[in-house]
Structure 1
Amino acid sequence: MAEQTTDTSNEKNGDKINHARSLTYYIFALVIGVWLYTLWADRMTPMTDQARINGQVIRISPEVSGPISEVHVVNNGLVKAGDLLLTIDPRPFELAVKAARLDLQQSAQAYEADSAAINVAKANEVAARVKVVNAKKNVERNRVLAKRGTISQATMDNIESDLETAQAGLAQATSALDKAKQEFGPRNIDNPEIQSALNKQEQALLNLNHTKLLAPADGVVTNMNLGIGDYAGAGQPILTFINNNNLWLTAMVRENSLAHLKAGNKVKIVFDSYPGKVFEGKISSIGWGSSGNGSLTEDGSTGLITSPTSSAKAQRFPVNIEFTELPEKLDLRYSGRAVIGFYPGESYIGERLQDIWVWAWSYISYVS
């Protein structure tokens, strides 16, 4: 009886060992299967959580120096194109304009006592030239936005029409000046003293115009830490402007996952700020270089977006993604994090499996 009990116990122990061994084999097989799947999926249906919302960020700098006399916007406030952001104390520049006009008058009086009509015509021509300069800058600034679709073609047509009107005004002012010169007889308008006075007046008018900083487009002013009395230095950035009407995604993708990706490929997007929801987009372009370590920052020496890879692993390259069919009320913020699943059309089964992964990630973001 004791021997029978021992044999039964040995059989049970043997069965347990066999079950444990089988379970171990299953686990190893599962791990190897998952590992092989990730290697395959990394090339056929890549996915990355190294993605950020990107956009046009402008560091607004004044063209003249002086204390700030008025601030017309609040931090993180919405602005429209052409809105007044802040005003640099204009009084010194107004005095400079007056001084330049006096210099011009004195220079003209040196050649002729009765030159009031010529001086008026010259001042009008300078003002018209300033309008043309400002109109050209406005056209150049908005032409880039029109190409990106930020502003409508109708708006761009109106802006170009303003330039034509300014140029016509300049032509009219020039014609009036020529007429005045003919009426009062020959004038040595090319005299260096008169030209110097004209240049000073034009520069003074431009400087006065530059005391008002305007919004370059519709967007948001953020990271603003200045107020009335702060000193604004010419060429020194004092405001950060984000064009929140022209946002896209930049995903940093490992180079060994780029084999099948190309512009136009469909992608699915999960935002941390919108858990449980999956959005769609498409690849607009794939970068040709990256450097360093970071996210949405640029290398000062190369101008390339830095990669978040700090070890000897595969380098990452920027893949730009444009949104499709996003809800109007979606509140996206610059540099917000996203998870991207790519659909290059290489494997139907792989893409259906990726649908499951993307769906799972959309809920994992609740606790991430």
Structure 2
Amino acid sequence: MESKKGSAKKVSIIIVAIALLILIFSVLSSRFTPSTDQARVQGLTLSLAPMVSGYVTKVNVSLHSEVKAGDTLFIIDRTPYEIAVKQAEINLENVTQSLTAGMSGLKGATAQLNSARVSLERAKKNWERTQRVMAQNEGAFSQVDRDRSESSYLTAVERVKTAQANLDGQKAALGPTDANNPSVKAVLNQLEKANWDLAHTVITAPSDGIIESFNVETGYFASAGRPIATLISNKTIWIQANFTENNLTHLKVNDKASITFDIDAGEVYDAKVVSIAYGVKTQTTSAGNLPTVRNSKGWLLEQQRFPVIIALEDEEIYKKLRQGSQADVVVFTGNSSILNTLAKIKIWFISKISYVR
């Protein structure tokens, strides 16, 4: 009986010792070799929306098509936009002709002013001569001749004023005769807008990637600013791993890491820490309102997680991945050979489990 009690006691001690060792390992590993299964492949998702409206006349892609930056994806009916360009060009020609006619008018008004000034100069000299002669001999000219000379001079003065006013009026109406003319500016802007609209009837790929959310066919009416497909960029990809706060104790940028993906079961890849988030949203607060505080339920407070960006050492591996793919990550923050070895065994085991989970 005493032998059985002794054996049970030894078993209990062993179990407690193992549990204690597991607890110690769990605490140390969470600090020095933190791991998480909350990791996913992330990337840029771009909405493909036309800048102009119209019926789709050509579709060069299909669902899951792989495209390169600059590839033509869709073409919108160009006819109305080509007509708008031609109309803007005609308007520019009309304005140019109007300016040419206005320039001719200016030349005529300038000639009239010069002629009036010449006539004024003659009339002025004649009137001055008449006044000198009459000052020396009052009877040299009759009153009619004197009045005629004065009237010619005054009439010439008024003609110069009229010609000058006519020239000033035409200049004001015509405005600048170069590209600063308001009418020229208006039609040039119209032509530029028409060419811009025409250029945007061709929808091209803004980046390398894969076409998703595609449901467009020839004859579909595309509205400006309304997405007609989605491009998943395969050029900008990263891995976001969400670690708990106590995992971040020793974790730092450039720490070595190992990662395994469900999409590539059985393989473990070398990686490193690129960046660590400094904050996450924990409550909703709007201006003028008090923050909402949620009461936690249960004995233990749920651990807060922070995003950590992980980069693969071999960039060729990214070609195998898909956005949203799940991954498991372990980071090596210290030089403990025991903890690092155990962490490597753990991530290797997880990679093999991916075959069946």
TM-score by length of 1: 0.68
Question: Per the alignment, in what secondary structure is the counterpart of residue 290 of structure 1?
Answer: coil
The match for 1:366 is 355
Task: Specify the code of the residue in structure 2 equivalent to 1:83.
Answer: D
Find 1:76's aligned residue among 44, 64, 89.
Answer: 64
> Secondary structure of the residue that 2:29 maps to in structure 1?
helix
Conserved? CA contact 2:50–2:201, under 8 Å: yes
Query: What SS does the corresponding residue of 1:81 show, helix, strand or coil?
Result: coil
Q: Does structure 2 conserve the Cα–Cα contact (< 8 Å) formed by 1:279 and 1:326?
A: no
- Between the aligned partners of 1:193 and 1:21, the Cα distance in structure 2 is 103
CA contact (8 A) 2:32 2:333 kept: yes
2:113 — aligned with what? Answer: none
**Aligned position for 2:279:** 289
Q: Contact 1:68 / 1:231 at 8 angstroms: preserved in 2?
A: yes
Over 3 Å counting, the alpha-carbon distance change for 1:57 and 1:277 in structure 2 is same
Q: 1:206 to 1:346 in 2, by over 3 A?
A: same
1:224 aligns with 2:222: no
Give the aligned residue type for 1:102: I
Structure 2 counterpart of 1:39: 27
Q: 1:256 aligns to what?
A: 246
| Alpha-carbon distance between aligned partners in 2 of 1:86 and 1:259, rounded to the nearest angstrom | 51
Inter-partner Cα distance in structure 2 for 1:331 and 1:188: 60
Q: Give distance in 2, aligned partners of 1:326 and 1:82.
A: 23
- Alignment-derived partner of residue 309 in structure 2: 320
How many Å apart are 1:188 and its aligned residue? Answer: 4.3
CA distance in 2, matches of 1:330, 1:101: 49
Match of 1:86 in 2: 74
Q: Kindly state the Cα deviation for residue 236 of structure 1 after the two structures are TM-superposed.
A: 2.5
C-alpha change, 1:107 and 1:329, in structure 2 (3 Å) is closer
Deviation, structure 1 residue 347: 2.2
- Matched with 2:339 is 350
Counterpart for residue 340 of structure 1: 329
CA distance in 1, matches of 2:257, 2:279: 22
- Match for 2:232 among 242, 247, 262? 242
Contact 2:261–2:326 (CA under 8 A) maintained in structure 1: yes
> Shift of residue 93 of structure 1?
1.1
The answer to whether the 8 Å contact 2:272/2:312 transfers is yes
| Residue 329 to residue 313, structure 1, CA distance change in 2 (3 Å) | closer
Tell me what 2:258 maps to: 268
Q: Does 1:111 align with 2:99?
A: yes
Deviation digits for residues 337-360 of structure 1, max 9, x if unmatched? 110010112422211110110111
Equivalent residue number for residue 48 of structure 1: 36
Asked if residue 190 in structure 1 is aligned to residue 180 in structure 2, the reply is yes
Give the structure 2 partner of residue 207 of structure 1.
Answer: 197
CA pair 114-97 structure 1, distance change in 2 beyond 3 A? farther
Could you tell me how far apart the structure 2 residues matched to 1:28 and 1:346 are? Answer: 28
Distance 1:238 1:364 in 2: 40
TM-aligned CA deviation for residue 66 of structure 1:
2.1
Q: The residue matched to 2:264 in structure 1 has which SS?
A: coil
Cα pair 2:38 2:242 within 8 Å, conserved: yes
1:184-230: per-residue Cα shift (whole Å, max 9, x none)? xx834322222111100100000110111111222212222222233
Matches within 5 A, 1:1-16: 11=1, 14-16=2-4
Query: CA 1:42–1:287 in 2, change beyond 3 Å: closer, same or farther?
Result: same
| Secondary structure class of the residue paired with 1:110 | helix
Task: Tell me by how many angstroms 1:78 deviates.
Answer: 0.8
Q: Distance in 2 between matches of 1:252 and 1:292?
A: 15
TM-score, structure 2 length as denominator? 0.70
Name the aligned partner's letter for residue 28 of structure 1. Answer: V
**C-alpha displacement at 1:329, in angstroms?**
8.8
**What per-residue deviation string (whole Å, max 9, x for no partner) do you get for residues 83-105 of structure 1?**
00111221221121122112212
Corresponding residue pairs, total: 272
- Counterpart for residue 12 of structure 2: 24
Which structure has more RCO (C-alpha within 8 Å, separation ≥ 6)?
A: 2
